[in-house]
């Protein structure tokens, strides 16, 4: 991968995950809530899974899968210490270079972890190749809108103090990218939908402490290495909107669902093969493109 494609410093991310492993319990309620929203999608299928891979779940996903009766759950994380926090089988490896043989898992779950990957299409392709035919892939990723009040406050404060900006909050993908990424990686029946956790923090410092506890500190390679102005964070934090003495900081997520291709899976109907008109079903009059509906 060329340097121009490397947005994140993966080594720095690993070190920060190592450092956060002992205190991950601080943010367990948030990780657990996000995992529950994601794993609820397992209730929509009658398929039973035998071998699951938890990618970067930070102790929230693997126990939940075992509680659902899955005996063979492997937890993988960039940080060995974080991988061990989930209990059971643990593997320290990079999501950009998966070490698993083709067909190793019939379920792969990535809860709030893939947003730090430099080559997300490539990582999704490797995940699909590690899955058995008709295996299920579930993922949640923070999307544009997450941490937006913090991003805006830091940008405004830095612009006023230095006359310029530096990336201090990780970039996030957009909702519309989700299904296309799955399709590009070869997943069948790709679905991307939006979900949200409405989080509130008693102070800006409580928010920052939770981000650090989760290993979610800035790991953008283009970050400013200079010591920030002393007034930067107090100024930014003073402008964060508060209501009832707390700061709203919703976690906006895209939930991805895709299946490893297999013979006999349902296929989308061929374009133009419909036997009934939508206008008839809706009880309306069909109009041609550009045709006025006024009479």
141-175 exposure pattern, b = at least 16 Cβ within 10 A, e = fewer: bbbbbbbebbbebbbebbeeeeeeebbbbbebbeb
Going from the C-alpha of 104 to that of each of 130, 207, 293, the distances in angstroms are 5, 38, 56
> For the structural domain made of 3-144+172-199+251-262, what CATH number should be given?
3.40.50.150
Going from the C-alpha of 256 to that of each of 24, 117, 191, 242, 274, the distances in angstroms are 24, 16, 6, 32, 28
pLDDT along the chain (295 residues), means of 10: 75 95 96 97 93 96 95 96 92 96 97 95 96 97 94 93 84 89 95 96 96 93 86 94 92 97 71 57 58 50
Separation between Cα atoms, residue 79 and residue 93, nearest integer Å? 8
- The pLDDT score that the predictor gives to residue 270 is 57
- The pLDDT score that the predictor gives to residue 281 is 56
């Amino acid at each position: 991968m060329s340097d121009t494609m490397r947005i994140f410093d993966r080594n720095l991310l690993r070190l920060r995950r190592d450092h956060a492993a002992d205190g991950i319990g601080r943010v367990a309620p948030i990780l657990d809530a996000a995992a529950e929203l994601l794993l609820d999608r397992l209730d929509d299928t009658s398929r039973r899974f035998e071998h699951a891979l938890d990618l970067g779940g930070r102790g929230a996903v693997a126990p939940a899968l075992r509680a659902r009766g899955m005996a063979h759950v492997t937890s993988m994380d960039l940080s060995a210490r974080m991988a061990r926090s989930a209990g059971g089988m643990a593997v320290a490896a990079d999501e950009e270079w998966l070490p698993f043989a083709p067909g190793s898992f019939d379920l792969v779950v990535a809860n709030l972890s893939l947003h730090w990957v430099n080559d997300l299409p490539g990582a999704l392709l490797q995940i699909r190749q590690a899955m058995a035919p008709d295996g299920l892939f579930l993922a949640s990723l923070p999307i544009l809108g997450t941490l937006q009040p913090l991003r805006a406050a830091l940008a405004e404060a830095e612009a006023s103090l230095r006359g310029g900006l530096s990336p201090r909050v990780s970039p996030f993908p957009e909702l519309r990218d989700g299904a296309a990424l799955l399709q590009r990686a070869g997943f069948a029946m790709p679905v991307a939908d939006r979900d949200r956790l409405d989080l509130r923090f008693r102070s800006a410092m409580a928010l920052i402490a939770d981000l650090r506890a989760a290993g979610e500190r800035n790991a953008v390679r283009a970050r400013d290495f200079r010591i920030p102005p002393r007034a930067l964070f107090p100024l930014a934090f003073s402008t964060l909107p508060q209501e009832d003495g707390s700061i709203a900081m919703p976690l906006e997520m895209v939930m991805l669902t895709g299946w490893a291709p297999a013979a006999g899976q349902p296929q989308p109907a061929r374009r133009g093969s419909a036997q009934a008109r939508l206008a008839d079903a809706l009880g309306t009059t069909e109009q041609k493109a550009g045709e006025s509906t006024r009479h």
